[in-house]
Amino acid sequence: MKRFLDSARRPENQKGFTLVEVMFALVYLSVGLLAIAAMQNIALSRNNDAKRMSIATSLAVEMTERVRFNSPNNSTAPYPYNFSVSCSPACTGGTAPTTTDVTALGDYNQWRAHLAATDPAGAALLPSATGTVTSAALGPAALGQVLVTVTVSWTAGIRTPTITLNTVVAPL
């Protein structure tokens, strides 16, 4: 009888898992899976931010190149490249250029359309985008140098990322 009681207290060849071990394993697995899901969410968010940053940079560079191409007409005051575009939600806000320069007006209209661009689902590529182009004289007036500043900003949650490009343009 004594031998039977000793073996009941101390099993020699225990097989399988206890319920407590299984519960702890499930808790650890759940925490790990939640961490992986959170990392995936952060990665997708950062990927979307990078895409928008790339689009905004491309738009700012595009407008800078348009101003450079039209630099002979932008070398004397009043400078045709002084305007802003506000797209919240449609690009109807801002100030249009006060010029008769056909190229500058065309550049403004095309850039405004690019700021308002949407993806195939109809969502804005740059939510609440704002674009500003300013031109100011730089150095001696005889050189015709103009400091051009192109700024593109948009909303990303509670942040407002901004891209600003400055360049000096002079007639050839």
Residue matched to tokens 């407590």: 20
Q: How far apart are CA 87 and CA 103, in angstroms?
A: 22
pLDDT of residue 37: 96
- Digit-by-digit pLDDT tens for the chain (172 residues) are 566 555 555 566 767 778 888 899 999 999 999 999 999 999 998 999 999 999 999 999 999 998 888 877 666 667 778 888 888 767 777 787 877 778 888 888 898 888 888 888 888 888 888 999 998 888 787 777 888 999 999 988 888 999 999 998 887 6
Burial 121-151 (b: 16+ CB within 10 A, else e): eeebbbeebbbbbbbeeeeeeeebbbebbbb
Task: Give this prediction's pTM.
Answer: 0.75
- Single out the residue of 141, 142, 167 nearest to residue 68, CA to CA: 167
pLDDT of residue 75: 63
Residue matched to tokens 């308002």: 116
Q: How far apart are CA 18 and CA 11, in angstroms?
A: 13
Tell me how far the alpha carbon of residue 30 is from its chain's centroid. Answer: 33
pLDDT of residue 35: 96
Cβ(66)–Cβ(107) under 8 Å?
A: yes
